Structure 1
Amino acid sequence: MKPEAGKPKRRRDIPTSDKWDTTRLYASHDSWLGHANRLRQSSEATAQLFADTIPTADTLVSALDAYDHIMMEAEKLRHYAFLNLTVDALDHTNRRQQELMLQLDAAIEEAWSFLTPSILAIPEETLRHYYRDSPRLQPHSVRLERIRRLGPHTLDRTGQHLMATYGALADASHRAFSALVQTDMVFGKLETPVGSKALERSNLSWFLRQPDRTLRAAAYQRYLGAFDAHKHTLATIYRGSIHQDIYQSKIHHYTSSRDMVLYPDAVDESVHSTLIESIRKRLPTFHAYFALKRQALGLDRLKPYDLFVPIVKASPVHIPYDEAVGLVCASVSMLGRDFCDTLEQGLLDGWVDRYGNVGKHSGAFTASCYLSDPAVLLNYKEDVLQSLFTMAHEGAHAMHTWYSIRHNPFSRYAYSILEAETVANVHERLLASYLIDRETDVQRKAFLLEQQVEGMLAKLLRQTMLADFEHQMHCGEEEGRPFTLETMRSVYRDLLVHYYGPDVDFDPLSDLEFLTIGHFYQAYYVYTYPVGAAASLVLADKLVAHDPEAIESYLALLKRGGSRYPVDSLAAAGCPIGSSGTYEKAMDEFAQAVTAFARALENVSSRT
């Protein structure tokens, strides 16, 4: 059942069929609390059995098996608390539950803080004997190899214990940001063609796509105005997050925050640098598109609230949720009937929390739990085409998780963000190709080609710019050049001007946009979007062509989970991410997409 237009609902008013059923995890909050209390006691008691020594292969296997059991149960508890909080941050019970979960996580980490130093203390020759003497150790081999690789960055038992007690504080900045932005901020209402409509983080894109430029400007300025009112607080929170990153990197003997984030996945820092350098070299390609857009809209200069409005005035989009599921599944038909049936059933029956409500997390995500089905959060809107692509994106994450769980033990089912974003971008690309190839209406086809260009633009240009800004912020603090709000705004404005070029004229508040980016609180996350987008082009083109080997290698990528490092895993699937050639190909594809759209736009003009 779709929600009433223009009227945000409270969580209790959302139909059961449109939201997660968390009772599949725990029957009630009290049931969850009982399990949490028992797990805390079990974790402490079990950890004490192994805390002193790991003298034999059998003891090591038993310790790892026990730890996995504790962590699987903790993940399930965390999953339940997280899902409840993200759909209704206004509910006191949900907020309290999340705080209790943070305490439980810290207690488990503290109790088991001995495990990694104990493993590192085992001599290499002894570990080889363990593998020979105990086949039961083999499922843990990937984790053991990764633990030992991180040896130089792992503290001794005392240090690990101290860091475990500190763990609950590590996410304080992100939680403060979320509480302020998701719960406390109010953006008011604006008059629209469909009546008075509340402006929210989850529907800003709807306002920015409206044909009325005055309305777009009002929404943009109202939105950033709310952040302007809290700019000093938000800047302080963000700097606090950067300081946390730097502190952690120093404590663990990394050369930088970037090194700390990339090293565990064996991603060389050059991958991040190559991305930024490659996209910067091709900025004129993006600028040419902005010039095309400015001319097509008949404007002297583009303003930031003009960047998302469609050039092509196609008929209004109206794609009911069930129809969207059908389109998403049809676009991946080359992956086989089992794949499509699983995806369809999941999207229709229980995986997805479909529509927005007051207090719900804006945007979209997929949450994984080894003991449960994937959980997909959407804020689906029938009249926004991007909602369809978001469904495809998150559906890809869900299927990635579904396959990984069924082909890997718990210790290696979690895959990297790089692999995740590559897979999700593949599915967006497949959906775009499916819709464009089957569209016969000239104007609608031009509209779809424009949306394809805009999607590539968002990933390759905007997300690279954000990665560039984030890196400059961390480098400045690490090099002893602390930023104030004013200098942060100056850096961000310079990047806006540089990346978007001469045809875009930014507003006085545009340089506050960086304060709205929640992903900045997960350091060096945003770079995975453009890397994944670029890498996905290679795979998607082969899948569209129904290449049997490509289909097999793609499904193998989904099944690998976290069993290999991401650079190696993606290379095995045919996606090299360490080469500038990958980004050159992506930019060439973007240029071709712009050319195809320009031709389609001429066809539309010739018929009007």
Structure 2
Amino acid sequence: MYAVAMTDTMNRADAPQRATWNHEAVFSDWDAFTSELNDLEKLAPKLREFEGRLTESAATLREWLRVSDNVSNRLGRALTYATMASSVDSTDSTAKAMDGKAMSVFSALAGATGFAEPELIAALTRESGLIETWIAEAPTLGEYEPYFRALIAKAPYRLSGEVETVLGNLSSALAAAPQTLNELASSDLRFPDACDSTGARHRVTQGTFGTHYSQEDRELRRTTWESFGDTYRAFQNTFAAGYLGVIKRSVFEAKTRGYDSVLHERLEPTGLPTQTFHLLIETFVENLPVWHRYWDVKRRLLGIDTMRPWDRWAPIAKNGPAVPYETAVEWIGTALSPMGDEYVDTLRRGALDERWVDWAPNTGKRQGAFSVAAYPNTYPFIMMTYTDTIGSMSTLAHELGHSMHHYLTAQNQPAVYNGLAGVWRSSSIAETASNFHQAMTRTWLRREKGADEALMLAVIDEAMTNYHRYCFIMPTLARFELEVTRRAEAGEPLNAPILNEIMAGYFAEGYGESLVDDPQRSGITWAQFQHLYRPFYTFQYAIGISAASIAADRIYGDGSAPPDTGAVNRFVEMLKSGYRFPAIETFGIAGIDMTSKAPMESMFGRLASLVEQLEAMV
């Protein structure tokens, strides 16, 4: 059986096939990929032939939707191939070049189709009852009714066809800043080695720094923290220039389209009210004392005098159990057995036989983890680094949640409700699907393996690590984003030192008196999270955890109530709906009310319960 020590890395060429994504199932080679891109590029003139004709008849509209859905699916397939190839090995110059070419074709096709939505919006807002007329003339247009109604809802923020075309053509150029920062972080940064307490040296890379943070050796944690932070600080002006370019672009787009703010511009198209964001931040700030308690109890459990930032990831569970990849798949699948055989069989087949997951810990792999959307004849692939830990198992569960959402959406919805093209695409819905898997897995482990004290301590430790990332770091980054965009919208000065000061200030609040900060290195945290290149993505993890926890409690029963027999069907229907409806309505399909503060308060209540369990141990 293939295994790798947690701190080891390998060359991409040495990764065993079963630990890599099934690229051959998408395209046989780069020649086949290039041929498809060339064919797609040639479709631009054909797409433009529909301009000015979309509403001449229901039949013409139906043909346009058929053609555009097909192009969207084919383009999604090509982008998936290029994205995965360039992400699993950032040293692959061919993959990077092809990724750039794919983005150029995407930009060209976006420009060629930029007329469509403005043309439809003009017709829909000019003539009432048009949707009903179209469906009466072409009944198959019925599945697009939510799409048409979404266009009406978004009409106040759409521009003329000419302007939309220009913005579509500019999309590739406007994406240059995030691409440059990704390249710098993944390929060009070189981190000094970290040293453990014995003097042994350890390589620090984007793929290993998180593993070093989670080691028992405190000196290894400290030197990794300093290596990582100081390297980013050395490039802080470059990262600031790129990030502020993203912010300026967002401010420009929000103002151009008539939104009240960048926050409004990011959430309105998803159907999630801005009030939900503010309710979460308010609840987070109110619960900062819970985090202060956690830093204190963790200090005592670790047996150290002073808690420092690099101790946040330190394991409470000593010598945590090894969880090989195959074992993780088995546990996750068993935990999800209430979802039904079809759901679980699909997940296991994808994670093992069909090789959805690229989990090899190779040098050059992009930091973090992600799952790509599924398209006809394309799997919902996952990129991650698996290191045989409970934490890696949790990440795998999270990403498989995304992939099952992507899979079920692609199986049940046309392109306008799928992936990046989803008309009501919302990260809060996406993060509900992923965090649901983690909640189900933790519940199953607690109930079925509760007698294993070492495993249970590791599970609590993993849960707190997860909460730390998504319910502490991410809301802190969200507060940072809100302040940065506020200043940008007001025309106030922003540069690297100012960004560092804002970031360090919010971390200081979060640490309270229980953790002694390292403000210079904490302040550069904003540069280390590529999530910020998608404004106001970060807070939606906590929204997802809130909704996912409620769903898991209903399915398993939370102790105060028996399992809800209808909860599985409602949740699966939510997943199948993709991005067909506004986020708030999509939550409603699963019977989850995210218009109130209650789910967020419940989530932080669960966090407080875990802290209480740890306090009882000391």
Structure-1 residue corresponding to 2:92: 91
Which of 275, 298, 310 is the matching residue for 1:305? 310
- Matching residue's letter, 1:266: G
Equivalent runs, 1:404-419 vs 2, <5 Å: 404-414=409-419, 416-419=426-429
Shift of 1:128: 3.1
Instruction: Say yes or no: does 1:421 pair with 2:431.
Output: yes
Instruction: Say yes or no: does 1:184 pair with 2:184.
Output: no
Which of 530, 553, 576 is the matching residue for 1:518? 530
Equivalent runs, 1:198-209 vs 2, <5 Å: 198-209=203-214
Structure 1 residues not aligned, in runs of 5+:
603-608
Equivalent runs, 1:141-152 vs 2, <5 Å: 141-152=145-156
Equivalent runs, 1:485-504 vs 2, <5 Å: 485-504=496-515
Cα deviations by residue, 1:95-132 (Å, 9 ceiling, x for unpaired): 11111111111111111111112112212333432222
How far apart in 2 are the matches of 1:307 and 1:367? 30
Judge which range, 185-194 or 328-337, deviates more. Answer: 185-194
Identity percentage of aligned residues? 23
Residue correspondences, number: 599
Cα deviations by residue, 1:208-259 (Å, 9 ceiling, x for unpaired): 1222222211111011111011111111111111001111111111111111
Structure-1 residue corresponding to 2:341: 337
- Residues 544/597 of structure 1: CA separation in 2 closer, same or farther (3 Å cut): farther
Which of 450, 464, 468 is the matching residue for 1:439? 450
Shift of 1:53: 5.6
- Residues 281/126 of structure 1: CA separation in 2 closer, same or farther (3 Å cut): same
Structure 2 residues not aligned, in runs of 5+:
420-424, 558-562
Shift of 1:446: 2.9
Asked if structure 2 preserves the Cα contact closer than 8 Å seen for 1:301 and 1:505, the reply is yes
Shift of 1:436: 2.3
How far apart in 2 are the matches of 1:300 and 1:573? 46
Shift of 1:284: 1.0
Structure-2 residue corresponding to 1:25: 26
Which of 379, 401, 404 is the matching residue for 2:385? 379
Shift of 1:77: 1.1
Structure-2 residue corresponding to 1:395: 400
Shift of 1:3: 5.4
Cα deviations by residue, 1:353-400 (Å, 9 ceiling, x for unpaired): 111212211221110131211101120001x32101001111111111
Instruction: Say yes or no: does 1:584 pair with 2:589.
Output: no
- Residues 413/485 of structure 1: CA separation in 2 closer, same or farther (3 Å cut): closer
Asked if structure 2 preserves the Cα contact closer than 8 Å seen for 1:450 and 1:597, the reply is no
Equivalent runs, 1:528-547 vs 2, <5 Å: 528-545=540-557, 546-547=563-564
Cα deviations by residue, 1:162-206 (Å, 9 ceiling, x for unpaired): 112211112111101101000001114334579643111222222
- Matching residue's letter, 1:353: D
- Matching residue's letter, 1:387: S
Equivalent runs, 1:199-598 vs 2, <5 Å: 199-313=204-318, 315-349=319-353, 350-371=355-376, 372-382=378-388, 384-414=389-419, 416-437=426-447, 438-507=449-518, 508-545=520-557, 546-598=563-615
Asked if structure 2 preserves the Cα contact closer than 8 Å seen for 1:536 and 1:575, the reply is no
Judge which range, 39-48 or 251-260, deviates more. Answer: 39-48
How far apart in 2 are the matches of 1:399 and 1:109? 27
- Residues 170/161 of structure 1: CA separation in 2 closer, same or farther (3 Å cut): same
Shift of 1:304: 0.3
Structure-2 residue corresponding to 1:130: 134
How far apart in 2 are the matches of 1:446 and 1:100? 48
Shift of 1:327: 0.9
- Matching residue's letter, 1:162: V
Asked if structure 1 preserves the Cα contact closer than 8 Å seen for 2:86 and 2:95, the reply is yes
Asked if structure 1 preserves the Cα contact closer than 8 Å seen for 2:332 and 2:397, the reply is yes
- Matching residue's letter, 2:461: E
Judge which range, 301-310 or 121-130, deviates more. Answer: 121-130
Shift of 1:68: 1.2
Secondary structure in structure 1 of the residue aligned to 2:368: coil
Shift of 1:50: 4.0
TM-score by length of 2: 0.93
How far apart in 2 are the matches of 1:571 and 1:128? 25
Structure-2 residue corresponding to 1:2: 2
How far apart in 2 are the matches of 1:295 and 1:535? 32
Equivalent runs, 1:37-186 vs 2, <5 Å: 37-51=38-52, 54-122=55-123, 123-186=127-190
TM-score by length of 1: 0.95
Q: CA RMSD in A?
A: 1.8
How far apart in 2 are the matches of 1:82 and 1:427? 24
Secondary structure in structure 2 of the residue aligned to 1:152: helix
How far apart in 2 are the matches of 1:53 and 1:445? 59
Asked if structure 2 preserves the Cα contact closer than 8 Å seen for 1:43 and 1:70, the reply is no
- Residues 442/161 of structure 1: CA separation in 2 closer, same or farther (3 Å cut): closer
Asked if structure 1 preserves the Cα contact closer than 8 Å seen for 2:195 and 2:223, the reply is no
How far apart in 2 are the matches of 1:356 and 1:19? 10
- Residues 440/140 of structure 1: CA separation in 2 closer, same or farther (3 Å cut): same
- Residues 445/110 of structure 1: CA separation in 2 closer, same or farther (3 Å cut): closer
Shift of 1:329: 0.8
- Residues 116/444 of structure 1: CA separation in 2 closer, same or farther (3 Å cut): closer
Asked if structure 1 preserves the Cα contact closer than 8 Å seen for 2:53 and 2:60, the reply is no
